[in-house]
Structure 1
Amino acid sequence: MAEEPAPANRDAASEDVVAELVRKADRDRYLATLFAPDAHRPALLALYAFSAEISRVRDVVSEPLPGEMRLQFWRDLIEGDGLASSGHPVAQALGAAIARYALPRKPLLDVIEARTFDLYDDAMPSVGDLEGYCGETSSALIRLASIILAEGRDPGGADAVGHGGVAYALTGILRALPWATGRGQVFLPVDVMNRHGLSRGALLARQVDEPLRAVLAELRVMARRHLEAARAALPGANPAVQIAMLPVALVDPYLAALERAAADPFRTAADISPLRRMWTLWRASRQAR
């Protein structure tokens, strides 16, 4: 993909704030932007910073109602064209990205709607609900990133984007199991838990037994199935889609780490080394060009 000169009126200080937020809150996507064309990097970081802002709402409120109000703040900005004049560096950066690349607003609103689930301690009802949550919080970002990388055009690749986003988000949910249960959240779908005899109480009490291992094993298989479907759809896709999909390249090593941690998923970190992470993204970026 050819790179074009960056706009002359970019606010370097605001861009630094946005980039630092993504670097701290969403390391995978931050590293992935390093392999994107320079001219598109600010818009990608704005998109990922927006996602980070929405995903951390529960962390900065003590009750759901203030969280709902924060989410409504973002809805109002996006629906009412108030991003540019908000004074909020992430909102302003997002507004600039929307204006430059004609990004559709509905996927952004869908991210907000899906993240409302995070404010409460309700269990994820079903596999279908979980896949929908992953699609709206992860696949939507990949689609918007691909539009940015395609200069405002929709480059297609819906199957790869959809399955890749679900695989990435589901793997992230499995990796975050100790953190989520520590604050009383249940992202594991109830229908799968019931099928294997895992109760909510046992999960939140961090009882490591056969029902838990069976649930986690089934969800790892589900993540790998989506990953394989994404890989099957990716060859021949527009390079913009392939670059937008770079974080998905980390799913395979993350799943391997989850399998190694299966004996005690609450005590064993399912992570990969920084060097392995960077090398995986670099290799995927070379295959996308």
Structure 2
Amino acid sequence: MKLLRHVSFIGNKFTGIVSTSYQFGICDYSTSKQSSPAEYCVDMVRTHDYENFLCTLLLPNECRTSAFAIRAFNIEVARVQDSVSEVTIGQMRMKFWEDTLEKIYQNDVPKHPVAMELYRAVKRHKLSKRYLKRLISVRANHLITSTYPNIEAMESYAENSVSSVLYLMLECSGLQNVHADHAASHLGKAQGITNLIRSIPHNAQHRVIPLPQDVLVKHSVSQEMVVRGSREKPLRDVIFDVACRARQHLDKARSLSSDVPKSAHVIFLPAITIDSYLEKLQQSDFDVFDGSLQQRNNFLPISLLWNKLRLKY
């Protein structure tokens, strides 16, 4: 319970919300003195990615702040698509982050709290630029087309958008291990595919269908069925097929645990959140529009802490 209170204290410490103004992703941070760049990043992750916020809180002190910077950067580029109505504007915002990343590696950092914190992380841990670039490029491509011709395309998106974050986390921890990289690849694919399943109710409202076209065709499910929130068996069969692929990647990542350094296990705690959602999805008979799937798991903090203590993921 002492550790649980400590986690709660950390989470409550950074509750200040920064008032910012944006233009093409540029934050006028000079007008806001309510929090430091580090606190800004923590609050962004807490607000927009709560489950990964809990997982990141449990990382060792030496890499926690950098991990929040990486996740905040990932959120910034991921939110571009939802925050614009025109592809051109989205591309301009992506260009801002592309230029910002170049400047970070040239020691010329814009006065944006996320950029400032990411610069500190890059310098402290010598983070690989290619993984950060992937986080931008995969979302930039998504602005043009957000459809997946097959489940392999979903896996590729998940690898670039989620596994890349885990690779950067491993670098923050100073871990260079082929088994850890292998597990990160599979876990990222599992989480990325699960995230796409979870996003269906929200995306359907905007007539965006993040499901593989070949699986939709296989079960004779039209995009209109998804848009109107069908709870019929054909769509549930589609969700079952996609969820099975996420489960396969999760199981593979866990099967590698004996070869993964123990210090990396805490980085892979998102496996607990994936498993929790997939279990609930199965209990709902793969009805992705079941309201219970949108409810927060109040036992998740305890489960994450327990698995950290057990060195399990």
Task: Tell me the TM-score normalised to structure 1 length.
Answer: 0.89
Alignment: residue pair count? 277
What does the per-residue CA deviation read over 1:135-190, in whole Å, with 9 as the maximum and x for residues that have no partner? 1111110111011022xx52431221111111112112112210011112111001
| 2:221 match | 198
Structure of higher RCO (CA pairs closer than 8 Å, 6+ residues apart): 1
Unaligned runs of 5+ in 2: 1-34
| 2:274 match | 251
User: Does residue 137 of the first structure (1) align with residue 161 of the second (2)?
Assistant: yes
Moved more, 265-274 or 212-221: 265-274
For residue 143 of structure 1, what is the amino acid of its counterpart?
Y
Corresponding residue SS for 1:288: coil
Q: Is the Cα–Cα contact under 8 Å of residues 121 and 186 in structure 1 kept in the other structure?
A: no
Task: Quote the offset at 1:123 in angstroms.
Answer: 1.9
| 2:54 match | 31
Corresponding residue SS for 2:292: coil
| 1:112 match | 136
Moved more, 112-121 or 133-142: 112-121
Counterpart Cα distance in 2 of 1:264 and 1:213: 6
User: Does residue 228 of the first structure (1) align with residue 251 of the second (2)?
Assistant: yes
| 1:3 match | none
Counterpart Cα distance in 1 of 2:262 and 2:68: 19
Corresponding residue SS for 2:307: helix
User: Does residue 90 of the first structure (1) align with residue 136 of the second (2)?
Assistant: no
**Divergent runs of 4+, >6 A:** none
User: Does residue 47 of the first structure (1) align with residue 70 of the second (2)?
Assistant: yes
Q: Map 1:260-275 onto structure 2 (within 5 A).
A: 260-262=283-285, 264-271=287-294, 273-275=296-298
Q: Is the Cα–Cα contact under 8 Å of residues 216 and 238 in structure 2 kept in the other structure?
A: yes
Q: Is the Cα–Cα contact under 8 Å of residues 160 and 230 in structure 1 kept in the other structure?
A: yes
Q: Is the Cα–Cα contact under 8 Å of residues 162 and 189 in structure 2 kept in the other structure?
A: yes
Corresponding residue SS for 1:179: helix
| 2:14 match | none
Task: Quote the offset at 1:131 in angstroms.
Answer: 0.1
CA RMSD of aligned residues (A): 2.0
Moved more, 83-92 or 255-264: 255-264
For residue 115 of structure 2, what is the amino acid of its counterpart?
A
User: Does residue 154 of the first structure (1) align with residue 176 of the second (2)?
Assistant: yes
What does the per-residue CA deviation read over 1:189-239, in whole Å, with 9 as the maximum and x for residues that have no partner? 011111111112222222222220110011111111111100001223123
For residue 154 of structure 1, what is the amino acid of its counterpart?
Q
Q: Is the Cα–Cα contact under 8 Å of residues 237 and 286 in structure 2 kept in the other structure?
A: no
User: Does residue 165 of the first structure (1) align with residue 165 of the second (2)?
Assistant: no
Task: Tell me the TM-score normalised to structure 2 length.
Answer: 0.83
Counterpart Cα distance in 1 of 2:101 and 2:54: 27
